[in-house]
Amino acid sequence: MSRRPSKTQELTAHLATLSDPVRLRLMRVLEREELSVGEVARVVQLPQSTVSRHLKLLTDDGWLASRSEGTSTLYRLTSDDLDLSQRPLWTAVREQLAATESPDLAEDLRRISAVLADRRTDTKAFFGRVAGEWDAVRGELFGDSVTLRALLNLLPADWVVADLGCGTGNAAEVLSPCVKRVIAVDQSEPMLQAARKRLTGTENVEFVQGELERLPIPDASVDAAVCVLVLHHIERPEKACAEMARILRPGGVAMIVDMIEHDRVAYRHSMGHRWLGFGVPDIFRMFTSGGLVRPRFSVLSSTSEAKGPGLFACTARKPGPQAPDADAV
């Protein structure tokens, strides 16, 4: 006859289950949303086999509840459903985790939103087959970026746009069909060579070698200046923002796309990042100190497969006929 585990043995087993950082991440995620194994794997960016193993351990030890829905098994953590011996343990652990402000949790929460968005799309496809399949049909016929490219035609056709830190020319390639001229600037000659090759035959793109802190562009000579995933490489980003303001015509718009603040220190060494992203106060301060007004910050949505930090887009205008002066903001 088997003996029932003692209270001490049960406590030891519970503590052993909670000792793994991955399992703690899974519990924080599943306390917020009921998810399938595949969805959890996409949120935490781990192999599904690894996630399945951890979910089984958590379920066997009573931390998670599961239920079947069609061919999927959904998991959740509900504090009120925990055993009386487990509730105080989880409360204490959760409070400690909240105090650490783990960047993993912020990234997981961002990906939960993307996973749920995908789930809603799948549900619509299930209940409205024709409507759900239309995006795939349209993508197959016309390409996935057809909507974006069409909307870019809302830009004034007579604009001159500066693509700052143009790299291999992906932004210039998208902008050039929609505006009068693109000035593609990069400090790296190999990057400019790659951009020239990419845009062979495109007559309205001018390639210029130069640094963003000292742009080789005259004052008030462009209608828009864009800086896409470049600012985190620059030693003095506030100087680059001031240069964006300098080259803009009155009423012109500046846009920065970059990473939200994160703690992936390895990026400094593996990719030469000087800054680990930027927060809203940082970007607003750099824009306004450079003389730009009406800053607008938006977090960009991402797919659940994205492995990098979250991105933002921030725009601001140079005071002039199309924008109020700083005192009016």
Residues of the chain with CATH 1.10.10.10: 7-105
Name the burial class of residue 93, with classes exposed (0-12), middle (13-18) and buried (19+) by CB atoms within 10 angstroms of its CB. middle
CA nearest to 259, candidates 208, 324, 327, 310: 310
**Cα-to-chain-centroid distance, residue 234:** 20
Architecture of domain 152-328: 3-Layer(aba) Sandwich (3.40)
Q: Note the pLDDT of residue 129.
A: 38
Contacting residues for 282 by C-beta, under 8 A, at least 6 apart? none
Per mean pLDDT, which range of 2-16, 203-217, 259-273 is the poorest? 2-16
Name the burial class of residue 288, with classes exposed (0-12), middle (13-18) and buried (19+) by CB atoms within 10 angstroms of its CB. middle
SS3 17: helix
Residues of the chain with CATH 3.40.50.150: 152-328
Q: Kindly report, residue by residue over 203-243, the tens digit of the pLDDT.
A: 999 999 999 999 999 999 999 999 999 999 999 999 999 99
Q: In the chain, what's the furthest Cα-to-Cα distance? A: 89
What's the average model confidence in pLDDT over 56-66?
89
Q: For domain 7-105, which CATH number applies: 3.40.50.1000, 3.50.30.20, 3.10.20.310, 1.10.10.10?
A: 1.10.10.10
Q: Kindly report, residue by residue over 108-122, the tens digit of the pLDDT.
A: 888 888 888 777 666
Q: Note the pLDDT of residue 279.
A: 92
CA nearest to 162, candidates 277, 242, 283, 255: 255
Per mean pLDDT, which range of 148-152, 203-207, 215-219, 313-317 is the poorest? 148-152
Q: Note the pLDDT of residue 327.
A: 42
**Residue 146: how many other CB atoms lie within 10 Å:** 12
Whole-prediction pTM: 0.61
Cα 243 to Cα 211: distance, rounded to the nearest angstrom = 10
What's the average model confidence in pLDDT over 272-293?
93
